[in-house]
């Protein structure tokens, strides 16, 4: 779109999405020269970039190796793989490759709470942020959730609570967080990673340089290598010394620190057993970050969770409807199924979409264990049906309204219909939010019919 710049003292920003735009603004504020590259012929934010940065070189189309080699640092957006040939060649030639989180870490002056995991990142990140706000702490929340990391930077901030994806962590050298966690790990993004090991290694980078680490007692994949040298704080399972877990006192189940009861699970507003684990994780993170316990417990009593994450929608004829459209991988869907399943209630689970190369046979045992029924939509529906086999009764639907209607038709009073697709949404919807909104609208239309 513009000819190659002449100077070699320049940063290359790859990707013009919201992350790339935030990097451009950050570098411009520092007086740093940069060039923008995007593989798309008509990339997002192009007009905005031209308006904000007139005269800046923008190169669209296939990444040009000569342009990258002329730069002293490459800053890639999370959606761009480091394994892209031109980037790999530039890196091999000695050009550093980083992401916006590396720039953020270099500039941030306040402590960082770093949260990653295959599922529940957004819920726990938001919850810890709300706990800090309740305590009167000037907190900034974002990263992979909401506001890009570099736009959070402010000298007045006292605590950063950051949701981080594996893509963002790939290009971080040392995060140096006050407290870091991997909430859980299940198969995801295997269309980008060579194998599960590569995906796990990307997640483990969140622990690099951490002062405190919080790990899931029930998920060994979240545990750091022994060489990490830091005693972990555990969450989940039964409480004991050095952990946040569950304890029963006079017939009432409590969330506890060590063996001290803190709050009854019945007082939580977020639904499902998986959200009990999310609450425990938030308590462990907040405690390590210095958030007062009374503020955290007050927050837990009013926090109702996030949209599209096991969100209670409506009820018709004693059949409940739950929107878990953010369940875009098998691990998230398993957590939702196990979190909502309760005897004698039965679940009707709506599955389907773009499968991202996952092995859906992992769903079969959970579906069989609670005698679920399944309604399938989307492009990879036949693959899912074959993987599930006889583990559940299967019904196919043409669209979301059809899926909701058919789910209700096979439900009994006391049952629940759960949209937790275990798939990406782009075959039928703009994104998971659009899919969730369409589900809620379909439920509303069913109830009004």
The set of catalytic residues is: 121, 144, 189
Query: Tokens 């199924």 appear where?
Result: 337
End-to-end CA distance of the chain: 54
Sort 298 into a burial class: Cβ within 10 Å, 0-12 / 13-18 / 19+.
middle
Reading the block at residue 366, the tokens are 């959970």
Q: Give the SS3 label for residue 336.
A: helix
Q: Are strands 260-264 and 252-257 parallel, antiparallel or unpaired?
A: antiparallel
Residues 6 or more apart from 390 whose CB is under 8 A from it? none
Angstrom CA distances, 38 to 50, 64, 77, 150, 174, stand at 14, 10, 10, 20, 27
Taking every pair of C-alpha atoms in the chain, what is the biggest distance, in angstroms?
A: 75
String of DSSP letters for 366-413: HHHHTT-EEEE-STTHHHHHHHHGGGSEEEE-SSHHHHHHHHHHT--T
Which residues, listed in sequence order, are joined to residue 395 by a DSSP beta bridge? 375
- CB of 78 closer than 8 Å to CB of 22: no
Distance, in Å, from the CA atom of 200 to the CA atom of 166, rounded to the nearest integer, reads 8
Backbone φ/ψ region at 213: left (φ over 0), alpha (ψ -120 to 50), beta: beta
Reading the block at residue 30, the tokens are 């520092």
String of DSSP letters for 164-197: --HHHHTT-S----SEEEE----S--TTTSSSHH
Distance, in Å, from the CA atom of 171 to the CA atom of 174, rounded to the nearest integer, reads 9
Interior CA angle at 375 toward 333 and 449, to 5°? 115
Q: Which of 101, 111, 46, 47 is nearest to 77 (CA)?
A: 101
Whether omega for the bond prior to residue 300 falls within 30 degrees of 0, making it cis, is no
Q: Are strands 311-316 and 319-323 parallel, antiparallel or unpaired?
A: antiparallel
Which residues, listed in sequence order, are joined to residue 87 by a DSSP beta bridge? none
């Amino acid at each position: 779109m513009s000819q190659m710049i002449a100077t070699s003292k320049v940063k290359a920003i790859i990707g013009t999405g919201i992350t790339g735009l935030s990097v451009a603004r950050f570098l411009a504020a520092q007086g740093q020269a940069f060039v923008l590259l995007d593989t798309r012929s008509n990339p997002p934010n192009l007009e905005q970039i031209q308006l904000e940065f007139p005269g800046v070189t923008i190169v669209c189309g296939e990444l040009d190796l000569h342009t990258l080699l002329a730069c002293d640092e490459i800053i890639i957006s999370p959606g761009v793989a480091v394994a892209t040939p031109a980037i790999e060649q530039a890196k091999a030639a000695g050009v550093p490759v980083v992401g916006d989180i590396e720039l953020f870490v270099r500039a941030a002056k306040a402590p960082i709470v770093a949260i990653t995991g295959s599922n529940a990142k957004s819920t726990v990140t938001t919850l810890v942020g709300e706990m800090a706000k309740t305590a009167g702490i000037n907190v900034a929340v974002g990263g992979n959730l909401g506001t890009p990391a570099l736009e959070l930077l402010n000298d007045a901030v006292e605590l950063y609570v950051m949701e981080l994806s594996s893509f963002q962590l790939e290009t971080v050298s040392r995060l140096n967080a006050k407290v870091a966690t991997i909430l859980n790990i299940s198969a995801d993004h295997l269309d980008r990673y060579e194998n599960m090991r590569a995906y796990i290694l990307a997640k483990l980078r969140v622990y690099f340089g951490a002062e405190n680490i919080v790990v899931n007692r029930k998920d060994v994949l979240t545990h750091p290598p022994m060489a990490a040298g830091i005693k972990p704080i555990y969450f989940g399972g039964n409480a004991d010394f050095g952990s946040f877990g569950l304890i029963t006192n006079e017939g009432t189940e409590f969330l506890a620190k060590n063996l001290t009861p803190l709050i009854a699970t019945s007082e939580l507003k977020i639904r499902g057993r998986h959200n009990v684990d999310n609450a425990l994780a938030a308590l462990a993170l907040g405690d390590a970050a210095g958030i007062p316990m009374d503020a955290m417990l007050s927050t837990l009593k009013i926090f109702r969770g996030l949209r599209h994450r096991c969100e209670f929608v409506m009820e018709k004829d004693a059949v409940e409807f739950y929107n878990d459209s953010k369940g875009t991988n098998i691990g998230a869907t398993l957590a939702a199924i196990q979190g909502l399943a309760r005897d004698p209630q039965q679940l009707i689970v709506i599955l389907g979409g773009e499968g991202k190369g996952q092995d859906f046979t992992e769903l079969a045992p959970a579906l069989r264990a609670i005698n679920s029924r399944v309604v399938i939509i989307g492009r990879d529906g036949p693959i899912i049906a074959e993987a599930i086999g006889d583990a559940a009764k299967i019904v196919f639907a043409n669209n979301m309204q059809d899926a909701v209607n058919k789910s209700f038709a096979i439900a009994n009073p006391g049952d629940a219909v759960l949209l937790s697709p275990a798939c990406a949404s782009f075959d039928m919807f703009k994104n998971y939010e659009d899919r969730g909104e369409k589900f809620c609208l379909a439920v509303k239309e069913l109830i009004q019919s």
